[in-house]
Amino acid sequence: DAGVTQSPTHLIKTRGQQVTLRCSPKSGHDTVSWYQQALGQGPQFIFQYYEEEERQRGNFPDRFSGHQFPNYSSELNVNALLLGDSALYLCASSLGGPPEAFFGQGTRLTVV
Amino acid sequence: GENVEQHPSTLSVQEGDSAVIKCTYSDSASNYFPWYKQELGKRPQLIIDIRSNVGEKKDQRIAVTLNKTAKHFSLHITETQPEDSAVYFCAATNMDSNYQLIWGAGTKLIIKP
């Protein structure tokens, strides 16, 4: 079991560009949550996907959007990148919702 | 909405001593409280969790206590070892009505040899 996998591991983008991050959940899990973790801070909940729908959303602007595919994998899209979007983006998977027991290794996004 | 405060932000203890990290939460409806350990550059790992119907839970050198009346919960690590050095996060949520974990700001635990 590969656990939760994310790609890419690192990414550098220019301000104003768009980015897509990917997450494959742990085998048997149907729920994917995305978090943004700025340096030195705790993870902030972006949204959660279940049954291919956004089930709950945190306090993030519409520039952040996502998708879940029938195989439960998920994408996070960020449009019109800002310098402040630089962070570690974490994906967590679970069966039906919390507890978030399994995280991916994260994607380190740097916006220049 | 829920708010979780975590203290201290940095904790330095001698190897072999105990460490205690405390969190308070604001929403009395919260019923699930996990603790995560995050080593530098790595993913958060769930180390222990507690639900509101239990006051204490232990797993070897790690224990968590919950005081629902005071709305606070604590992580206790005994006989600390160098590999315990990491950032520890607490979190809270109401699993019956919410899918969002609210996280504390983290505690950097330093184990001095």
Name every residue whose Cβ is closer than 8 Å to that of residue B111 and which is 6 or more positions away in sequence.
B13, B14, B15, B80, B81, B82, B84, B85
Q: How confident is the model at residue A1 (pLDDT cuts 50, 70, 90)?
A: low
Question: Are A98 and B45 inside 8 Å of each other by CB?
Answer: no
Tokens of B107: 């505690």
Query: Per residue, what are the HEC states of B50-106?
Result: EECCCCEEEECCEEEEEECCCCEEEEEECCCCHHHCEEEEEEEECCCCCCCCEECCC
Q: How confident is the model at residue B99 (pLDDT cuts 50, 70, 90)?
A: confident
Q: Which of A49, A103, A107 to mutate to test the interface with B (most CBs of B within 10 A)?
A: A103
For B5-25, the pLDDT digits (tens) are 999 999 999 999 999 999 999
Residue of B nearest to A89 (CA): B43
For B34-81, the pLDDT digits (tens) are 999 999 989 999 999 999 888 999 999 999 999 999 999 999 999 999
Kindly list the residues from chain A whose CB atom is less than 8 angstroms away from the CB atom of residue B103: 42-44
Nearest CA distance, B71 vs chain A (angstrom): 20
**Residues 39 through 68 of chain A touching chain B, CB cutoff 8 Å:** 40-45, 48, 50, 55-56, 58
Option in B91, B102, B105 nearest A41 (CB): B105
